[in-house]
Structure 1
Amino acid sequence: MPETPDLTQQQLSITSLGEPSQISPLPLSTVPGDDIGDFVEDDTHLFYEPRFKFGEKHCDLSFEMAGARREIFFHPADTTAAIVTCGGLCPGINNVIRSLVMELLLNYGIQNVLGIRYGYHGLNPTVGRPPIELTAELVDDIHHKGGTILGTSRGHQEAKETVDFLVSRGINILFCVGGDGTQRGAHQIALEIARRKLSISVVGIPKTIDNDIKYCYRTFGYATAVSEAEKVIDRAHVEARSVLNGVGLVKLMGRHAGFIAASATLASGVADFALIPEVPMALYGEHGFLAALQRRLKAREHAVVVVAEGAGQHWLDECPAEFDASGNLRLRDIGPFLAEAIKSHSTEVSSPVSVKYFDPSYHIRSVPADAADSLLCEKLARSAAHAGMSGKTDMLIGLWHNHLIHVPLTISCSAKKQLSPEGELWMAVEALTRQQKWYLGE
């Protein structure tokens, strides 16, 4: 059974700008069973943990459910919204932009939606470009394209200058599309807004191809990434089995979490090893990776290895820590290192190998979203629009037990989500690859 989280219900409560006093223009109902879509009551919650054992106390923590509210805070005719996209590229960003614009303009009837250029830089007029007006015509077909029409960047701007900009442009709602660094920046903006007692909503939409944001079971772009990664693993398998002692080595995204590597390994079904950050292992020695790989080659004469970019960092030489503009630790490149280590070890044991190395990271990031991600983007964006219009702030839209919820930025940014070595996903990987058998020399 899962452990009770070290949280209080107060920590899960959502900040609101004030009492909603406007009636929503959405044609929804408050009467169940009338064949009309329903508003979500503001006191509707979802249990943090739905599983329990008979006879034991149930964890009663709960999240506020996302969805359209009957009473909203902002008057649509007087509302201006802005959208900013930050961090690395990810399939589905344009889908989110499009759905936000369509919901705000066409359904809520607000007058202006601004697109902030090149990430948080665009919220500082001294360093960024001016925003563009987002219209239904402009975003009509962008969901079929990869990347972001607004541009992106890493790094934050001073919250004071950012809020000055929001006030100067009359922006009432800021939608921040990005990963944990972006959401930390959004939280700082919300704090500065609260300090000034301004009525500006800040709503986050979680974007990380690594799927490592807390309280969001699946972030958009992840399903597309797994699908594209599966194709690369399949190609690596073709290369590996076409020569004697062929090794197909595929490096995939996953700085601190191995979700893509593990899921793509399962989806492909042909990998023999999946190396992820959450399960450290030795490189050398009888039970190290290189010896295990050698045993696999001796038994089958080819092998496919999938490695997440954050795996095996302890194998590389120590060097001073470096960080990018978003505050992320710069990882050392495990792919080329591992390829050379495999070749060197094969020479030492007099068993030559042919290593084919694949690094599809930038290709995968830049493709358009697949159908599954497109649907998720639509749901996340519309729920974000509902939250912003109802005056919710300092929060993001999460996905919990297949339901959309409101998550305070204070707890969503507190830690990264990682794959559990005891969870179903990793157990399935080990069952499929049987890599423990190769490590133990069985």
Structure 2
Amino acid sequence: MLQPQDTAVTTLGPCTIPSPLRLGRQPEAGVPPFVSDTARVRFRVECDPACPAEPDVFFEKAGPRERLFFDPRRVRAAIVTCGGLCPGLNNVIRSAFLELHYNYGVPEVLGLRYGYAGLNPAVAEPPLRLTPELVDTIHEEGGTVLGTSRGPQPVEVMVDFLASRGIDLLLCVGGDGTLRGARSIAEEVLRRGLKIAVVGVPKTIDNDVMYVERTFGMQTAVDKAREVLDAAHNEAKSAYNGVGLVKVMGRDAGFIAAMATLASQEVNFTLIPEVPLVLDGPRGFLETLRRRLIARHHAVVVVAEGVGRELLAGEPVETDASGNPKPPDIGPFLKNRIVQHMRKYGVPVDVKYFDPSYLIRSVPANSDDAIFCDALARHAVHAAMAGKTNVVVGLWNGVFTLVPIPLAVSGKKHVDPAGPLWKSVLACTGQPPGWT
């Protein structure tokens, strides 16, 4: 159970520097206010008087502070992007730079190259000095202008680099692995007594960061996945007993598969890691699919990449540079099993397999994600300038918050098989709630 002390944000010290931002102390017409350091966002907005009372837990509200820890005129900031690609990375880089450069007047902002490798002089490419000209149109492009990589670097080496380059603020843009790296950097900085703020911006199309309602890139990924699902539906309907099989990203969580299903409304089976997949038996997936083909002569199946690990337990398990296990490829395996099962019962089938994973994550952000990225980036800058550290910017109950990174990486968020999102998917597809 979450406790009040779990959400306490670490700060580098008292804030005594007046902010250069032209904001008000109180809400005024046309002048947005500063956010008080004591402003909070309630963790639970619903309660049931019949249930035992739980302790009130609040997140610190994100936003610009009237007093800063750092003097903006003497600050050197740095931005690093890590992990896999995600729509919106360039938007975050651009908005963070613009907030630092124009609104706070920070004289130098560095872009560290190729993930955390950019903090290790032994392997690093030279940092980029960000300028208005360099970031001018990067938000129109997918990928990241800074480059990215997976995998950690020695934390002592990274903190040595920050100290030797006189970097005061480090914005770490990435998912679970990136945030774990940011936590290690922040803790080593504090152990040494250095005054360097480390703030995370949550990036993952999987949307699996704990205590963060939404991560940037997910909405764009859902948009692109929907396009593929609609194409798969056209392919399936145009063939006798056609099956459009689409694999989407989702190593541990099925948010993309579930939300793209609801957006498309053309999916008949949605397979996610949170619901164990049973292929065989009278109520298994293959037999349910066979009955669907006999009745309707077409079907669309979307499968998240993390599905079926128990079915592929004998396959060799690889890990990426961050140490994350790479799930065996469920897509071709599932396609072969569908074909074999239908052949066994003399049912002709035409399976079209789609794997749009890299297309989905490498496109530019859509309008919704672009707006969201802008807000996340600016809130990250506000937090860092106020000396907040070992913290990630989040969204909770529609309000931007500051979540301690140790709390954010304490687990992974999942689709709740008993929750409203999955219930909506079941209503949309008509599939059974589980495979037995």
Q: Note whether the superposition's TM-score is higher than 0.5.
A: yes
2:152 aligned to which of 156, 180, 186: 156
- Compared CA separation, residues 55 and 357, structure 1 to 2 (3 A): closer
- Correspondences of 1:378-393 after superposition (within 5 Å): 378-393=374-389
- Partner in structure 2 of residue 15 of structure 1: 10
> What letter corresponds to residue 209 of structure 2 in structure 1?
I
Deviation, 1:439, is 6.3
Mean Cα deviation higher: 58-67 or 89-98: 58-67
Q: CA deviation at 1:58?
A: 5.6
CA distance in structure 2 between the aligned counterparts of 1:164 and 1:362, rounded to whole angstroms = 35
What RMSD over aligned residues (CA atoms) do the two structures have, in Å?
Answer: 1.3
**1:242 maps to amino acid:** S
SS in 1 for 2:383: helix
Partner deviation per Cα, 1:331-354 (whole Å, 9 max, x = no partner)? 100000000000011111111200
For the pair 1:362 / 2:363, whether they are aligned, the reply is: no
Deviation of 1:215 (Å): 1.2
Letter in 2 for 1:65: K
Distance (Å, rounded) in 1 between the aligned partners of 2:11 and 2:338 = 56
Which residue, out of 206, 219, 223, partners 2:219?
223
Could you tell me which runs of 5 or more consecutive residues in structure 2 were left unpaired when the two chains were aligned.
Answer: none
Q: Hey, what does 2:272 align to over in structure 1?
A: 276
The amino acid that maps onto 2:325 is: L
**What count of residue pairs does the alignment treat as equivalent?**
435
Q: Aligned in 2, Cα 1:134/1:438: closer, same or farther, shift over 3 Å?
A: closer
CA distance in 1, matches of 2:315, 2:257: 26
Question: Which runs of structure 1 show a deviation greater than 4 angstroms over 4 or more consecutive aligned residues?
Answer: 437-440
Residues 1:108 and 2:104 are matched in the alignment: yes
Task: Find out whether 1:62 has 2:58 as its counterpart.
Answer: yes
In structure 1, stretches of 5+ residues that fail to align are 1-5
Query: Is residue 40 from structure 1 mapped to residue 35 from structure 2 by the alignment?
Result: yes
Decide whether the 8 Å contact of 2:248 with 2:305 is kept in 1. yes
The alpha-carbon distance between structure 1 residues 214 and 242, as it changes in their structure 2 partners (threshold 3 A), is: same
Q: Report the alpha carbon displacement of residue 391 of structure 1 after superposing the two structures with TM.
A: 0.3
Question: Offset at 1:34?
Answer: 4.1
Query: Taking structure 1 as the reference length, what is the TM-score of the superposition?
Result: 0.97
2:419 and 2:301 map into 1 onto residues whose CA distance is: 21
Residues 62-82 of structure 1, C-alpha deviations (whole Å, 9 max, x = no match): 000000000001001100000
DSSP 3-state at the match of 1:153: coil
Q: Could you state the TM-score of these two structures normalised by the residue count of structure 2?
A: 0.98
Partner Cα distance (2:354, 2:318) in 1: 25
Q: Does the 8 Å CA contact 1:84/1:174 hold for their aligned counterparts?
A: yes
> Offset of 1:207 from its aligned partner?
0.5
Say whether 1:94 aligns with 2:94.
Answer: no
1:13 aligned partner, one-letter code: A
Distance 1:69 1:41 in 2: 7
Q: Could you tell me the percent identity over the aligned residues?
A: 55
Distance in 2, Cα, partners of 1:43 & 1:181: 30
From 17, 21, 24, the counterpart of 2:19: 24
Closer, same or farther: CA 138–273 of 1 in aligned 2, 3 Å = same
CA contact (8 A) 2:92 2:377 kept: yes
**Whole-Å separation in 2 of the counterparts to 1:229 and 1:44:** 38
The whole-number CA distance in structure 1 between the counterparts of 2:110 and 2:295 is 60
> Amino acid of the residue matched to residue 269 of structure 1?
Q
1:435 alignment partner, SS class: coil
Q: Distance in 2 between matches of 1:349 and 1:53?
A: 52
Give the secondary structure class of the aligned counterpart of 2:326: coil
Paired residue type of 1:36: V
Contact residue 12 and residue 407 of structure 1 kept, 8 A: yes
